[in-house]
Amino acid sequence: MPQPDKPSVGLIGLGNLGTAIANLVTTNCCAVIGWEYDAAVVDEINSQHTNQRFLPGISLDHSLRATTDVSQVFGGTEIVFLAIPARFIRPTVQTVVDAGLVSPDTVIVNMAKGIDAETGLTAFQTTEMLFPANPCVMLSGPSIASEFAHGMPTIVVLAGSRDADLMRVSRVLDTRHFRTRFSHDTVGVELGGLLKNIYAIGLGLFDGQGITSLNFRAVYLTIALEEMTRLGVAMGAEAKTFAYLAGMGDLLATSLSGQSHNRHLGELLSQGRDLAAIQQEMGVLPEGYGTLRIALNLAEKLYVSLPLARGLWDVINGRIDADRFIFSFIRDFVED
């Protein structure tokens, strides 16, 4: 049962991660109401206490409520989590912002990892612009939803300007198997969660080519982390952030996960499939694709060299095949 001294919590986006976090918080302490665009998902959560589309095999706490009315999520809630793609944040919450339905005391926690192609803003930058009067917190780190939803342990990072805000959020999240750490480097924590999706595509290329060498993967991921750090520092992040949970931790979790959509994109590319065919099969291209394009543009402006990322872009756009990328990587980074 929700404890009277604990805040009520709202959540925007009952997909894979959103549903897992909503269930975690509900089970842990608090009354949670979550918004989802898909009315069928909302009905299933309320009536059957499952979400087979996004989080199959998990029985949800009966106290978790779902709605298609976004205004209900901001009515009296003290913490609101955002778990939708970056491009949907503004159109989803703009009406409640314009209507003045958001209390300035509500902590807004962004879990989205993407860049809005129209504005060029990251999800956290979009969040801060939409909620300028609110404390905003970034959540990232190794958080494969289907794992912690089954009680498997993990630790994530909460980043924000004030420890008091981070503490408020940690109180509703911390359990025996799900723990949080604090950071003031919101730029680095967000970029770690963004950029790792790019390099997970490369692991998929290796899978599609049947390359299982642990030595090779270790070299690739090490150099990938170096590129992430180089670009992150150029954008104002702290280098040490990338050596911790929101950088290396998230890169390893996503790249090595068999459930990663970005890794699956790489597998399909290695089979010679073009983007149109892949998008038709997957429904929507993973975040890593759009992030890669924007990251290369930023790297060019900031004079940052990203040879791995550039090679992945050439494979995606058919300039080179996966086999050539892999062996160019061996020649350029291993043999030298």
Backbone φ/ψ region at 58: left (φ over 0), alpha (ψ -120 to 50), beta: beta
Is the separation of the CB atoms in 112 and 83 below 8 Å?
A: yes
Stated length of the chain? 336
Which residue in the block uniquely carries the two structure tokens 């949907």? 88
Whole-angstrom CA distances from 18 to 111, 173, 195, 223 are: 8, 13, 20, 31
Query: Tokens representing 125?
Result: 């930058």
Nearest Cα to 207, choosing from 334, 322, 306? 322
Q: How far apart are CA 314 and CA 165, in angstroms?
A: 42
Q: How far apart are CA 21 and CA 149, in angstroms?
A: 8
Is residue 240 part of the annotated active site? The answer reads no
Identified catalytic residue from 6, 113, 196, 301: 196
The catalytic residues are 196
